[in-house]
Structure 1
Amino acid sequence: MKKLIGTLFMLFATALFVNAQEVKKVGDTLTNINLKSTNGVVYDLNQNKTKGCIIVFMTPSCDHCLAYVSRVLALNAKYQAKGFPVVAIGPYGDNEKDYPYDAMPAMKKLAQEKAFTFPYLADEKFKYTWLFDIKQPPKAVVIKRNKNGFLVTYIGNIDDEPNEKKVPKKRYVEMAVNKLLLIDVR
């Protein structure tokens, strides 16, 4: 009986946690991102006076993520001045013990070597990785500031070409941000 009660309690607690951490999908609102950056300060999305941002989930040991570094830098160069800068998140950034090749020291090294022009943040216990249901980086989330926080307008691939030597035919993130910029002009 004690085992049954213990199991029921664990299921109830898990259900509460899952509901508290509702998966964000297109159309949902994110209130803030508050994570430690590779430069040692805590990044607070609400403190930035931007129209929105492009969140890119990437890890230092993933070949696909590394292949996208120049494209992510280009996204930031193209959209930062238009109010949609890049903010990168390392899913394993806070766990050096279990993920030494993807934790904060490796993130700092990558950011310095590749001269990141955007914040690179260490996710805490996969909070935002799970929130956006990111299963395999690199993935992007485009958000737009609204009166309640940030509206999620896109979640998915950066483009349709994972090979860094080939030119993408469809640039999904650019299409999503350009659509938002067009709406702002009207």
Structure 2
Amino acid sequence: MKKVIKVISGGLLVLLISAFTVNATKSNGYKIGDIAEDFSLKNIDGKMVSMADYNDAKGFIITFTCNTCPYAVMYEDRIIELNKKYAPKGYPVIAIMPNNIDVKPGDALPEMKKRAGEKGFNFPYLIDESQAVYPKFGATKTPHIFVLEKTSKGNVVKYIGAIDDNYKDASAVTTKYVEAAVDALLNGKEVPQPETKAIGCSIKV
């Protein structure tokens, strides 16, 4: 009898561990409809920035990006244009650099500041120094985009994924995922394609 109990207990333990592993995998990062927690991160000018600072915002285009990823570099001009187009409409870009700078020293704050100056970034470029923010979002790539809508309940995740469908050539893009998402929200409609696959470099930990 004792052996049977031990076997059953062992089986239950395996099942519980398996269930926990599956649930943990499923719960990694925000999903569409989740409320995104605010953050307070250092900008390239040394000031701390959070979403709460934007009193007049209707939402946000949160962009995880960096200096050293070729994909991120190819998208820099398009991110600048996104902010130029949508910040006046209430959806500013907030860029966050998530990489471990020990692994990627080219993404350290002085290098971020230099790159932002060279490219003329018109949005905050924040560093996730403790690497505590990007896992909450579930970001895995640079670039990785999260469009949030500000509501009475908080900042609701409405879109997750890529900026558009052609990282190589902006002129060859056929579907602008982020623009479609923000345009829909501005018009009180549902986002037509709330999730796409982010294409880019893996975040360095």
TM-score bin (small chain): 0.7 to 0.9
Structure 1 contact 35–121 (Cα < 8 Å) conserved: yes
Worse-superposed segment, 159-168 or 46-55: 159-168
Q: Please show how residues 65-76 of structure 1 align to structure 2 within 5 Å.
A: 65-76=72-83
| Letter matched to residue 48 of structure 2 | V
Structure 1 contact 68–164 (Cα < 8 Å) conserved: no
Aligned residue for 1:112, secondary structure, equals helix
Structure of higher CA gyration radius: 2
State the Cα deviation string for residues 31-78 of structure 1 (Å, max 9, x = none). 312100011100021121211110111110111111111100000010
Q: 1:41 aligns with which of 47, 52, 59?
A: 47
2:84 matched to which residue of 1? 77
Q: TM-score scaled to structure 2, two decimals?
A: 0.75
| Letter matched to residue 175 of structure 1 | A
Aligned residue for 1:118, secondary structure, equals coil
Q: TM-score scaled to structure 1, two decimals?
A: 0.82
Q: CA separation in 2, counterparts of 1:172 and 1:29?
A: 21
Q: 1:169 aligns with which of 171, 174, 187?
A: 174
Q: 2:185 aligns with which of 169, 180, 184?
A: 180
Count the aligned residue pairs: 166
Worse-superposed segment, 114-123 or 31-40: 31-40
Aligned residue for 1:53, secondary structure, equals strand
Q: CA separation in 1, counterparts of 2:66 and 2:111?
A: 9
State the Cα deviation string for residues 89-131 of structure 1 (Å, max 9, x = none). 0002xx4433201121221111111111000010133222211
Instruction: State the identity as a percent.
Output: 37
1:55 equivalent in alignment to 2:89: no
State the Cα deviation string for residues 124-150 of structure 1 (Å, max 9, x = none). 332222112222211110001112320
Worse-superposed segment, 118-127 or 173-182: 118-127
Unaligned runs of 5+ in 2: 1-16, 190-205
